[in-house]
């Protein structure tokens, strides 16, 4: 399966939101991905488009304004039809490169404590996965924190 990668655009908002809950297994997710991410973080966010012009994967990421050495990945999603083919890993590889080019030395993401698939994906990509943090994003919204160095260990 061949995809074309390009930067995320504000005009992708409707297409991404249309599939978002389905891609997240029916969870209501759109409140966590407002249009401002498509506008303000488009320079560091990507979509992969399939041969039919449909979005096959997307990643929303940005360099932390508070910690400029930190790249933060807010959302990554792959069309269920295309999972297990390396698209998620490719989105991260491209984003790590972009972060490195902007001076970041580490990367962080946060995912639901219940999302064991996301945790397995991040472990496979070399992230450390924290213990579950109770009420991290409010009552009943437990999360795990995912961290990884972007600096290659020469040893």
3-class DSSP state for residue 85? Answer: coil
The verdict on 120 binding ligand COA (CB under 6 A) reads: yes
- Nearer to ligand COA by C-beta: 83 or 108? 83
Q: Which residue among 83, 102, 106, 108 contacts ligand COA (CB under 6 A)?
A: 83
The verdict on 118 binding ligand COA (CB under 6 A) reads: yes
Binding mask 30-69 for ligand COA (x = CB under 6 A): ----------------------------------------
| E strand spans, 22-118 | 46-49, 55-63, 70-78, 106-112
Stretch in the footprint of ligand COA (CB under 6 A) among 45-53, 98-106, 120-128, 134-142:
120-128
> What long-range pairs does 59-63 form, CB within 8 A, spacing at least 24?
59/8, 59/91, 59/92, 59/94, 59/95, 60/8, 60/33, 61/95, 61/98, 61/99, 63/99, 63/102, 63/104
Stretch in the footprint of ligand COA (CB under 6 A) among 8-16, 98-106, 114-122, 138-146:
114-122
Under DSSP, the state recorded for 133 is B
1 contacts 85 by C-beta, under 8 angstroms: yes
> Given the rule CB under 6 A, which residues bind ligand COA?
23-24, 75-78, 83-89, 111, 115, 117-118, 120-121, 124
């Amino acid at each position: 399966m061949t995809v074309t990668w390009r930067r995320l655009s504000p005009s992708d908002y409707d297409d991404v939101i249309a599939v978002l809950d389905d891609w997240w297994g029916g969870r209501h997710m759109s409140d966590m991905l407002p249009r401002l991410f498509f506008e303000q973080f488009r320079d560091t966010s990507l979509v992969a488009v399939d041969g039919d012009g449909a979005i096959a994967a997307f990643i929303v990421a940005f360099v932390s304004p508070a910690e400029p050495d930190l790249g933060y990945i807010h959302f990554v999603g792959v069309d269920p039809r295309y999972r297990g083919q390396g698209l998620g890993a490719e989105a991260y590889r491209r984003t790590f490169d972009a972060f490195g080019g902007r001076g970041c030395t580490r990367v962080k993401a946060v995912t639901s404590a219940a999302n064991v698939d996301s945790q397995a994906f991040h472990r496979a990509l070399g992230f450390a996965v924290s213990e579950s943090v109770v009420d991290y994003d409010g009552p009943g919204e437990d999360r795990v924190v995912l961290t990884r160095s972007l600096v290659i260990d020469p040893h």
